[in-house]
Amino acid sequence: MAAIELKTREEIELVRESAIIVSKTLGMLAAEIKPGITSLKLDQLAETFIRDHEAKPGFLGLYNFPNTLCVSPNAQVVHGIPNKIPLCEGDVISIDCGALKNGFYGDHAYTFAVGDITPEVKKLLEVTKASLYKGIETFRAENRLGDMGYAIQSFCENEGYGVVRELVGHGLGRMMHEGPEVPNYGKRGKGKKFQDGMVLAIEPMINGGTHRIKQLKDGWTILTADGKASAHFEHNVALVDGKPELLSTFQYVYAALGIKSDEELPFRKEPLLI
Ligand code: MG
Ligand code: MG
């Protein structure tokens, strides 16, 4: 992984601009996700939307990935390739999206329910998202990477879930993947100390059962080894004056879905964006 690049206040604002384009893209998709629509259609909508915002899809062509979105239903963890299979009632679908504007990337993800889902899977989504904020809470100048990993891991394992080891969060900026690697597991007090100017993509990938994964022959798709569902939520966060500041937002998704949430308020200086 590339070096850690500490960002100036101006550079952080440029990451925010790209992250918010992704946030709006996820919000647009939230209104489209229903039984019958295909992930390829969602991908096309996202590409058009991002280009209409004078940005480029961040994943398209990156490491030769063929699409704008990674779309990973049910037992797929991440890196699923959009296809023509219609979504079904009861599916869950993790959508990860990147955008590049002014030379800086945004990169975030949300796991959506397609219609009604089982209480078991609903809980997996809720716990995974809550673990993302547990991780963000630890992103403070006095802490280290291991504190963040420990917070996410202990919270999810306490519910009996599996924390994926092979895939991790990362630094974000002029490159989609900068240092440091940001594992969703770790030991308190270990690892690199957080510093002002760090911008991280924090992204718990949590399985309903075992933490073990396998990969499809397409060379991309990661899925759970036991076939149980997986969830993935990702935010982009800067360390400013020793404290975490959210650059991305789920507020556009929540507006589309009619969800009320104040989960982001502790990590924002400004009031709600929309
Ligand atoms: Mg991502
Ligand atoms: Mg990422």
Give per-residue pLDDT as tens, 195-231.
999 999 999 999 999 999 999 999 999 999 999 999 9
Residue 59 makes CB contacts below 8 A (sequence gap 6+) with 65, 67, 68, 69, 70, 96, 97, 98, 176
Ligand 1 centroid vs 99 CA: distance in angstroms? 10
**Residues 98, 127: contact at Cβ < 8 Å?**
no
Ligand 1 centroid vs 66 CA: distance in angstroms? 15
User: What distance in Å separates the CA atoms of residue 252 and residue 241, rounded to the nearest whole number?
Assistant: 27
Three-state SS string over the chain comes to CCCECCCCHHHHHHHHHHHHHHHHHHHHHHCCCCCCCEHHHHHHHHHHHHHHCCCEECCCCHHHCCCCEEEEECCEEECCCCCCCECCCCCEEEEEEEEEECCEEEEEEEEEECCCCCHHHHHHHHHHHHHHHHHHHCCCCCCEHHHHHHHHHHHHHCCCCEECCCCCEEECCCCCCEEEEECCCCCCCCCCECCCCCEEEECCEEECCCCCEEECCCCCCEEECCCCCEEECEEEEEEECCEEEECCCCHHHHHHHCCCCCCCHHHCCCCCCC
Check: pTM over 0.95? Answer yes or no: yes
Longest dimension (CA), the chain: 48
Note the pLDDT of residue 3. 87
Question: Of the bound ligands, which one is closest to the alpha carbon of residue 109?
Answer: 1
Question: Of the bound ligands, which one is closest to the alpha carbon of residue 22?
Answer: 1
How open is the CA angle 39-40-43, to the nearest 5 degrees?
Answer: 90
pLDDT digits (tens, 9 = 90+) for 73-130: 999 999 999 999 999 999 999 999 999 999 999 999 999 999 999 999 999 999 999 9
Ligand 1 centroid vs 108 CA: distance in angstroms? 5
Ligand 1 centroid vs 177 CA: distance in angstroms? 10
Ligand 2 centroid vs 184 CA: distance in angstroms? 12
User: What distance in Å separates the CA atoms of residue 223 and residue 230, rounded to the nearest whole number?
Assistant: 8
Ligand 2 centroid vs 235 CA: distance in angstroms? 8
Average pLDDT rounded to a whole number, residues 48-67:
97
CATH of domain 9-267: 3.90.230.10
Note the pLDDT of residue 60. 96
How do the domains of the chain map onto residue ranges?
9-267
